[in-house]
Amino acid sequence: MAAPKILPPGSTIGILGGGQLGRMTALAAARLGYKTIVYAPDDDSVAGEVATLYVQGDYDDRLALEWFGERVDVVTYEFENVPEATVTICEQWKPVRPGIKPIHFAQHRIREKDFLRKAGIGTADYQAIRTEDDIEKATALPGILKTCTEGYDGKGQARVATKDGIKAAWEKFGKRECILEALVDFQCEISAIVARGIDGQAKCFPIGRNEHRDGILRTTHVPSGLSPEILKKAEAYGLKLAESLDLVGLVALEMFVTRDGRVLANEMAPRPHNSGHWTMDACATSQFEQLVRAICGLPLGSVEVMAPSRMENLIGDEANDWQKYLADPSARLHLYGKSTPRPGRKMGHVTFIG
């Protein structure tokens, strides 16, 4: 079997999805001399604004996807809720890195947890909630009831302490298939971001310590300040996940560190991750450049930390304080070009160095 072809600078990368992760990937690709074509259904795409070309089309528009596939050399996606059928169509024309397997598991919380367990990656206790009979048998209490699909940034989630609470939340979610995850007594949340190339070589970025508010990531600290034992375990889980997925690209694994020193996986995302934005300013290679390197067959870059950092998301109107950040010599401001601030909407981020 022939080795996968290395795509040199000047090649064209196709990006499914038009948000800020696609935007920052397109910018990283341009710096290395690659062209990008962004495909998304949005009227206005912040990724499309900086790409070589923006194609607006529905994810089930076969003709538009074929036109897109003919004009790129490799395809990636900037969020994991791209339909599997869309990826299947694109794979008929060009390699998709990562392919269907990562999103198949990442799009469904029960499949995701089952896959993590099978790979030898620890998780909290969990149970499927599909029927009222499942509710009666539930034991993972107190816990978090989550819809199996489409929930993110705290959406589609409810904290429950009793079976009556499960039933009320399940009915509120439209009696959709859900997962009940037992609450974890954790001291902090962390994430491992791993890149894996077409040759199977993988690198894990230094582990970030994360803080969430209202279900949305607010800050990431690197170094994390955690023990070498915890960091080694977290990195091993991230590398094991990338290998188990046979991944070519980037995957993030969010984890809990319990008060008794265990590391438990929460969820994965097979694409650049919010908790990796600090790499743009404080790491030898950014997560976005690393993705470009991986999917194009280039050597992976160094993951050496260049300076201690704290990344903060700018949510809603917080982005209006841009003058304050520009006046701070320790701050590196990144705005995503979104026109309308809304509560809970990620408008940008700022990384404080040193």
Within a 10 A sphere around the Cβ of 298, how many other Cβ atoms?
18
pLDDT surpassing 70 at residue 154: no
Q: What is the pLDDT of residue 152?
A: 67
Q: What is the mean pLDDT of the chain?
A: 96
Find the angle CA(270)-CA(95)-CA(38) to the nearest 5 degrees: 70
Per-residue pLDDT, 202: 98
What pLDDT band is residue 1 in, cutting at 50, 70 and 90? very low
The span from the CA of 235 to the CA of 214, in Å, is 27
156 band by pLDDT with thresholds 50, 70 and 90: confident
DSSP assignment letter at 350: E
User: How many whole angstroms separate alpha carbon 203 and alpha carbon 239?
Assistant: 8
- HEC string of 104-123 equals HHHCCHHHHHHHHHHCCCCE
What Rg, from alpha-carbon coordinates, does the chain have? 20
How far apart, in whole angstroms, are the C-alpha atoms of residue 264 and residue 68? 39
User: Nearest to residue 200, comparing CAs of 234, 245, 235, 237?
Assistant: 245
Q: What is the pTM of this model?
A: 0.95
Strand order in the sheet with 157-160: 126-129, 178-182, 143-147, 157-160
pLDDT for 51 beyond 90: yes
pLDDT at 153 over 70: no
Average pLDDT over residues 265-294: 98
Mean pLDDT computed over 280-285: 98
Model pLDDT, residue 2:
55
Q: What is the DSSP letter of 93?
A: T
pLDDT tens for 197-254 read 999 999 999 999 999 998 899 999 999 999 999 999 999 999 999 999 999 999 999 9
Domains (range + CATH), the chain: 12-96 (3.40.50.20), 125-182 (3.30.1490.20), 186-353 (3.30.470.20)
Provide the percentage of residues in the chain whose pLDDT is more than 70: 98
Mean pLDDT of 172-185: 96
Residue 274: which pLDDT band, with cuts at 50, 70 and 90? very high
Residues 6 or more apart whose CB falls under 8 angstroms from that of 87 comprise 16, 75, 77, 96, 99, 100, 103
How confident is the model at residue 304, as a pLDDT? 98
| Token pair recorded at residue 222 | 């690197």
Q: Residue 60's closest CA among 30, 92, 32, 83? A: 83
